[in-house]
């Protein structure tokens, strides 16, 4: 019998394997793709954002929305400070940018992943790639492998199978069918951290690829300040991602194009005589409205009101018609998955003792900016420690 089996070679699975190996247990890791950490490497192409540091813990925790109570003890045990110390232990010192986002000095994910795998290999990790989990056969885990069908019967299993986005990198949500076959609950998958569909007019074509900088977004009860990019298909970017829970429920979106200026000040500036200036040039000069913001204003509010108070109100809350989020496979992550109610405090499935779950396959979501990866690492650690405790009979 294999002592410990980890299925899934992303951050959560690797962290679970690390915890089990550190507790002295032999670990076999199975990954469906040809290599480990593929989504991590993709996320790190533009700079690996490990965590978010420098803000009060309660504000950090609030980014996890409805899942915050369940994740609190996990993030208290492995939050931003611990993430930075863990990276340093792998020889990857980190720095925090002006917004508190934390990156390794190397910026990319590959040096960190190589160091981590070298550490795990040195601890005796047995790893297999192209092993695709096919569910359970009694107490055995079933795999489709290059050598044919395999059965592995472990004493404990940690599942870190990902959500249902970025299927080409391994997260296709197929595991949900195996859970359903066993009567185990899975909340429906929904896109998170996804771009927004907007049907632009030809007027916007010259602005495709332009960033909307220093703006604030509002959808339902959620708000976010950050950047977004005007694309041919709509809007996308970190400033929008925290609004995913509201936007996928068809909440209206509004944009504050000048969040650092109050309405009264805007009204006063807009009331200045403009002479022969067009309204667009008046907006540029009077309130320093950037070209991309002017284009969005013209797109969503033509004809513009001439009265300064009405125009100021529009600049502070511009309605942007949209057709919802991009398809799930284009999303960075997903909501839905294994409910916390189906797990105990160690992330063990109460309906299948000895089987633990971690990472994006759990029913939680977090915006990008370090929260998502920190949550994956924290749940992976808790599941690995829980599995080690189960082996030890504690």
Average pLDDT, integer, range 99-128: 96
- Residue 310 clears pLDDT 90, i.e. is over it: yes
Asked if 175 and 182 count as a contact pair (C-beta separation under 8 A), the reply is no
- DSSP H or E segment with residue 143: strand 140-145
Distance CA 390, CA 20 (A): 11
* Mean pLDDT for the stretch of residues 215-244: 96
The arithmetic mean of pLDDT across residues 366-389, rounded, is 97
What pLDDT was estimated at residue 51?
A: 97
Query: Distance (Å, rounded) from C-alpha 306 to C-alpha 301?
Result: 12
The confidence band for 290, taking pLDDT boundaries of 50, 70 and 90, is: very high
Residue 278 has pLDDT above 90, yes or no: no
Kindly state the average pLDDT of the residues 139-152. 97
Residue 223 pLDDT more than 80? yes
Output the CATH code of domain 2-191+331-391. 3.50.50.60
For the chain, the structural domain boundaries read 2-191+331-391, 196-320
Q: How confident is the model at residue 275 (pLDDT cuts 50, 70, 90)?
A: confident
Q: Which of 273, 276, 300 is nearest to 286 (CA)?
A: 273
pLDDT at position 197 = 97
Q: What H or E segment, with its residue span, contains residue 234?
A: strand 234-236
**Residue 1 pLDDT greater than 80, yes or no:** no
Nearest to 17 by CA among 175, 158, 169, 171: 158
Q: What does the pLDDT read at residue 27? A: 98
Mean pLDDT of 78-91: 98
Enumerate the β-bridge partners of residue 145. 148
pLDDT of 166:
84
Asked whether the beta carbons of 327 and 353 are under 8 A apart, the reply is no
Q: Is residue 247 predicted with pLDDT exceeding 70?
A: yes
| Residue 341 to residue 363: CA distance in whole angstroms | 10
CA 368 to mean position of chain CA atoms: 5
Span 279-304, mean pLDDT?
92
SS3 66: helix
3-state secondary structure of 50: coil
Rounded to whole angstroms, how far apart are CA atoms 356 and 365? 19
**pLDDT tens-place string over residues 367-378:** 999 999 999 999
**Nearest to 311, CA basis, from 320, 303, 299:** 303
What is the percentage of the chain residues whose pLDDT exceeds 70?
A: 99
Average pLDDT over residues 11-19: 98
Q: How far apart are CA 195 and CA 236, in angstroms?
A: 4
Q: Is the pLDDT of residue 168 over 90?
A: no
Give the global pTM: 0.94
Work out the mean pLDDT of the chain and round it to a whole number: 96
Query: Is residue 302 scored above 90 in pLDDT?
Result: no
What pLDDT sits at residue 178? 98
At residue 394, does pLDDT exceed 70?
A: no
Average of per-residue pLDDT across 30-38: 96
Of 12, 15, 14, 10, the C-alpha closest to 33 is: 10
DSSP-derived secondary structure letter, 131: -
Mean local confidence (pLDDT), 174-189: 97
Do the Cβ atoms of 235 and 195 come closer than 8 Å?
Answer: yes
pLDDT of residue 83: 98
pLDDT for 276 equals 86
C-alpha span between 231 and 208 (Å, rounded): 5
CA distance 221 to 243: 9
Q: What angle do CA 142, 10, 329 make, to 5 degrees?
A: 90
Do 227 and 370 contact (CB within 8 A), yes or no?
Answer: no
Residue 77 has pLDDT above 90, yes or no: yes
Q: What percent of the chain has pLDDT over 90?
A: 91
25 vs 275, higher pLDDT: 25
């Amino acid at each position: 019998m294999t002592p410990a089996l980890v299925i899934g070679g992303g951050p959560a699975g690797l962290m679970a394997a690390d915890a089990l190996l550190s507790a002295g247990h032999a670990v076999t890791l199975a990954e469906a793709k040809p290599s480990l950490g593929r989504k991590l490497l993709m996320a790190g192409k533009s700079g690996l954002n490990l965590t978010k540091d420098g803000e009060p813990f309660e504000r950090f925790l609030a980014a996890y929305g409805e899942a915050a109570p369940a994740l609190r003890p996990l993030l208290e045990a492995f939050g931003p400070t611990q993430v930075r110390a863990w990276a340093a232990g792998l020889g990857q010192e980190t720095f925090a940018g002006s917004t508190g986002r934390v990156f390794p000095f190397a910026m990319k994910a590959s040096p960190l992943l190589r160091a981590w795998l070298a550490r795990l290999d040195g601890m005796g990790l047995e790893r297999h790639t192209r092993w695709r989990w096919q569910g359970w056969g009694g107490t055995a885990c079933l795999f489709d492998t290059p050598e044919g069908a395999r059965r592995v019967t472990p004493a404990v299993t940690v599942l870190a199978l990902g959500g249902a986005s970025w299927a080409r990198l391994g997260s296709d949500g197929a595991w949900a069918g195996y859970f359903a076959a066993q009567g185990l609950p899975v909340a429906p998958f929904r896109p998170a951290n996804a771009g927004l569909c907007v049907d632009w007019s030809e007027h916007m074509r010259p602005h495709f690829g332009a960033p909307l900088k220093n703006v604030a977004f509002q959808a339902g009860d959620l708000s976010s300040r950050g950047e977004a990019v005007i694309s041919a298909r709509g809007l996308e970017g970190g400033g929008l991602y925290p609004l995913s829970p509201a936007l996928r429920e068809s909440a209206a979106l509004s944009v504050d194009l000048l969040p650092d200026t109050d309405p009264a000040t805007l009204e006063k500036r807009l009331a200045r005589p403009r002479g022969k200036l067009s309204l667009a040039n008046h907006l540029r000069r009077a309130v320093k409205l950037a070209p991309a913001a002017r284009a969005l204003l013209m797109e969503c509010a033509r004809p513009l009101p001439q009265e300064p108070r009405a125009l100021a109100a529009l600049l502070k809350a511009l309605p942007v018609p949209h057709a919802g989020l991009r398809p799930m496979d284009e999303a960075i992550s997903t909501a839905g998955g294994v409910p916390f109610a189906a797990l105990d405090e160690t992330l063990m499935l109460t309906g299948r003792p000895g089987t633990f779950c971690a990472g994006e396959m759990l029913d939680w979501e977090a915006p990008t900016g370090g929260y998502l990866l920190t949550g994956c690492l924290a749940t992976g650690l808790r599941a690995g420690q829980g599995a080690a405790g189960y082996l030890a009979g504690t």
